[in-house]
Amino acid sequence: GAGVSQSPSNKVTEKGKDVELRCDPISGHTALYWYRQSLGQGLEFLIYFQGNSAPDKSGLPSDRFSAERTGGSVSTLTIQRTQQEDSAVYLCASSLVGPPSDYNEQFFGPGTRLTVL
Amino acid sequence: GIQVEQSPPDLILQEGANSTLRCNFSDSVNNLQWFHQNPWGQLINLFYIPSGTKQNGRLSATTVATERYSLLYISSSQTTDSGVYFCAVSPGDMRFGAGTRLTVKP
């Protein structure tokens, strides 16, 4: 597609349920990133995929969070046993190449707004 | 990890005014981007500018990598410029500043 797409755009769930968020990067982009933005805050890095390399999971806040990227394209972020503090907008980005390349301009999707009741 | 500080945190302008937003960062970077987050939450790429100066219409940006800062200039501001402006840097994953919230009044 022309840009990064994410689904669903909004997700309301009950505390304790699992949720899956999907990201479809720009075609041909090898690097994919997940971020979280809590209300009125900046963006917090979660996880980064580069090609077929092992992902950089250093930003995941707990072991309830996991992500996978199938076939080097679409990615799914899974949050198990959701908590109210997980409520946020989850943003996905992709770049043509990833770090440590000198050129890795990131392009963002519209985000998924997650509300945990 | 690398620290990113943006100033000012809030800025209110009258339409037509000019402004300068600043981004300071604590370590060497090979990627610096400026984004505008519109009222619907979409992050719009403004500049990819790890060094040097770029201009795009009423907006321009300058990064002085050796002194670890970047500036975003907005000239002849319009109400549609309102929103939050983020600076983000990386040698690896992207680290974002807290943003500057710009309000342009008609």
Residues A92-99 have a mean pLDDT of 83
Superfamily name and number for B4-105: Immunoglobulins (2.60.40.10)
Domain ranges of chain B: 4-105
Give me the pLDDT at residue A107, please: 92
Closest residue to B96, CB basis, from A43, A102, A111: A43
Percent of chain A at pLDDT > 90 equals 67
Asked whether the predicted pLDDT for residue A79 surpasses 70, the reply is: yes
pLDDT of residue B23: 98
**Low-confidence spans in chain B with pLDDT less than 50:** none
Q: How far apart are CA A8 and CA A114, in angstroms?
A: 9
Residues belonging to chain A with any Cβ–Cβ distance to chain B shorter than 8 Å:
33, 35, 37, 41-45, 48, 56, 58-59, 89, 91, 93, 99-108, 110-111, 113
Other CB atoms within a 10 A radius of the CB of residue A52 amount to 9
Cα distance between residue A8 and residue B36, in whole Å? 23
Domain layout of chain A by residue ranges = 5-110
Tell me how far CA of residue B25 lies from CA of A52, B58, B63, in angstroms. 31, 25, 11
CA distance A18 to A21: 10
Name the architecture of domain A5-110: Sandwich (2.60)
pLDDT for position A99: 63
Which of A36, A45, A89 best probes binding to B when mutated, by most B CB atoms within 10 angstroms?
A45
pLDDT band per the 50, 70, 90 thresholds, residue A102: low
Q: Which residues of A touch B35 (CB under 8 A)?
A: 108
